């Protein structure tokens, strides 16, 4: 699954409530409408030298794809230049034809856009571990495109994870998104592998011992679906992961920007977190598919958005067009309110991401 379903349930911790605000009705592209929390405060910033690391020696005037870079440096140079950081996520294709399309059509199309980096997911239960690394390696070698490998705790001992990381580094992979991971389908709740990690924060801390790596992690604006003690507890454990060494956060998908603003304001204001908190966004393609995704990850569909999906029914072309417009308006509002950029869950397609960035003038 290509979304950040698997950040790991948090342990009990008492935290206060986050910042709130008034909802406003915002109209976007082609009359797309939803309720957002409009927040004038600036978004999060990355620290100049987390874990003793410096920034890139120079700040490029445009996105550089000929050199594989650390993602923390991409975010910092984009911030210093006043431009948003856009990124895209892929999943390992299940068929040879799917892989052909990804490399021959999707990635070349995205490389014509201001996309600074991409990422490739792990399958549930770590089922695509080798394929994930192979695709990340090929993207970087064939397209000179900075790529981040997802890495999970599921079904692996610490020694096995060390082996995966060593192989990744030998291939020039320096960016890793550290996740707890989803258990294999039908296996029930997550169970720690003997000799492995139980929480994604443990994986972050382990990876932070390698100063040549850039570490991302997952954040959940609506709280993790498995966290029964509430989203503020979940956000508290995210803060712990950041302090353990995570350089930036990519969020689970959301459709109401209010959720992101409350998440951001709690982390930056109450918990004093200063790394980029990158909104993860899904340009929807089909009604039934969207409902399935939100059921799995626990995200909510705002009533006006859901009503529009129901009205469009099984007309996937119309849903896709609406998804482009809705997500365009989301991104426009997020950037105006200080978000550092956007991470697009592409579903291995380029059309919607290209449409969104065209709507925004990129």
Secondary-structure breakdown of the chain: helix, strand, coil percentages, each rounded to the nearest 5: 40, 15, 45
Q: Which residue, 251, 197, 193, is CA-closest to 224?
A: 251
Q: Are 149 and 168 in contact (CB under 8 A)?
A: yes
C-alpha–C-alpha distance, residues 260 and 34, integer Å = 14
Q: What is the model's pLDDT at position 159? A: 92
Digit-coded pLDDT (tens) for 180-190: 877 665 556 66
C-alpha–C-alpha distance, residues 292 and 299, integer Å = 10
Q: Is 304 exposed, middle or buried (0-12, 13-18, 19+ CB in 10 A)?
A: middle
**Average pLDDT rounded to a whole number, residues 143-153:** 95
3-state secondary structure of 336: helix
State yes or no: pLDDT of 7 exceeds 80.
no
Q: Which residue, 146, 185, 132, 147, is CA-closest to 6?
A: 185
Q: What is the model's pLDDT at position 19? A: 32
Q: How far is CA 146 from CA 64, 66, 157, 249, 280, in A?
A: 9, 9, 28, 17, 18
| Residue that is written with structure tokens 């679906």 in the block | 225
Q: What is the model's pLDDT at position 128? A: 67
Structure token digits, residue 200: 């994604």
Mean pLDDT of the chain: 83
Q: Count Cβ neighbours within 10 Å for each residue of 43-66 and write b for 16 or more, e otherwise.
A: bbbbeeebbebeebeeeeeebbee
Q: What is the model's pLDDT at position 40? A: 36
State yes or no: pLDDT of 303 exceeds 60.
yes
Terminus-to-terminus CA distance in the chain, angstroms?
Answer: 29
According to DSSP, the β-strands at 277-281 and 248-253 are parallel
Q: What is the model's pLDDT at position 106? A: 97
Digit-coded pLDDT (tens) for 85-111: 999 999 999 999 999 999 999 999 999
Q: What is the model's pLDDT at position 150? A: 96
Q: What is the model's pLDDT at position 228? A: 81
Residue 243 neighbours by CB distance under 10 Å: 15
Q: What is the model's pLDDT at position 53? A: 33
Digit-coded pLDDT (tens) for 31-65: 554 444 333 334 333 333 334 332 232 333 344 44
Digit-coded pLDDT (tens) for 190-239: 677 787 788 899 999 999 999 999 999 999 999 988 888 899 999 999 99
Of the residues 14, 76, 89, 130, only one is catalytic, namely 89
Look up residue 285 and give its DSSP letter: -
State yes or no: pLDDT of 74 exceeds 80.
yes
3-state secondary structure of 6: coil
Residue 159 neighbours by CB distance under 10 Å: 9
32-35: Cβ within 8 A, 24+ apart: 32/322, 32/325, 32/326, 32/328, 32/329, 33/304, 34/255, 34/256, 34/257, 34/302, 34/304, 34/305, 34/326, 34/329, 34/330, 35/256, 35/258, 35/302, 35/304
Phi and psi at residue 218, in whole multiples of 5°? -100, 145
Q: For a pLDDT cut of 70, what percent of the chain falls above it?
A: 78
Q: Is 274 exposed, middle or buried (0-12, 13-18, 19+ CB in 10 A)?
A: middle
Whether 89 is catalytic is yes
Q: Are 233 and 12 in contact (CB under 8 A)?
A: yes
Q: What CATH number matches the domain at 43-357, 3.20.20.220, 3.40.630.10, 1.25.40.10, 3.40.50.11780? A: 3.20.20.220
State the pLDDT confidence band at 240, using cuts at 50, 70 and 90.
Answer: very high
pTM for the model stands at 0.83
Q: Which residue, 148, 225, 183, is CA-closest to 1?
A: 183
Residue ranges per structural domain of the chain: 43-357
Higher-pLDDT residue of 65 and 261 is 261
**Average pLDDT rounded to a whole number, residues 148-177:** 93
Structure token digits, residue 83: 């431009």
- Which H or E element spans position 23? strand 23-27
């Amino acid at each position: 699954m290509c979304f950040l379903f698997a950040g790991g349930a948090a342990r009990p911790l008492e935290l206060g409530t986050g910042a709130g605000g008034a909802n406003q009705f915002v109209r976007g592209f082609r009359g797309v409408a939803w309720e957002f929390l409009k927040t004038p405060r600036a978004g999060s910033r990355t620290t100049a030298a987390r874990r003793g690391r410096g920034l890139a020696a120079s700040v490029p005037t445009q996105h550089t794809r000929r050199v594989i870079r650390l993602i923390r440096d991409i975010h910092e140079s984009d911030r210093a230049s006043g431009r948003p950081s856009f990124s895209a996520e892929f999943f390992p294709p299940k068929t040879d034809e799917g892989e052909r399309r990804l490399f021959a059509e999707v990635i070349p199309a995205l490389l014509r856009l201001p996309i600074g980096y991409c990422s490739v997911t792990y399958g549930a239960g770590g089922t695509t571990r080798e394929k994930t690394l192979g695709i990340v390696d090929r993207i970087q070698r064939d397209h000179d495109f900075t790529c981040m490998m997802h890495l999970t705790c599921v079904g692996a001992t610490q020694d096995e994870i060390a082996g995966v990381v060593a192989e990744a580094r030998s291939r020039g992979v320096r960016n890793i998104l550290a996740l707890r991971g989803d258990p294999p389908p039908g296996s029930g709740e997550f169970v720690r592998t003997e000799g492995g990690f139980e929480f994604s924060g443990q994986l972050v801390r382990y990876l932070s011992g390698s100063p040549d790596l850039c570490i991302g992690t997952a954040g959940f604006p609506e709280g993790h679906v498995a966290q029964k003690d509430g989203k503020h507890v979940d956000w508290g454990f995210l803060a712990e992961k950041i302090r353990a060494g995570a350089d930036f956060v990519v969020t689970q998908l959301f459709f109401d920007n209010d959720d992101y603003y409350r998440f951001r304001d709690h982390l930056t204001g109450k918990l004093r977190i200063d790394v980029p908190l990158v909104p993860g966004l899904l340009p929807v393609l089909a009604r039934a598919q969207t409902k399935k995704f939100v059921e799995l990850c626990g995200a909510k569909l705002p009533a006006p958005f859901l009503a529009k999906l129901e009205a469009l029914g099984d007309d996937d072309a119309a849903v896709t067009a609406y998804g482009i417009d809705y997500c365009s308006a989301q991104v426009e509002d997020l950037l105006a309110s200080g978000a550092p950029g956007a991470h697009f869950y592409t579903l291995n397609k380029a059309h919607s991401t290209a449409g969104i960035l065209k709507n925004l003038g990129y």
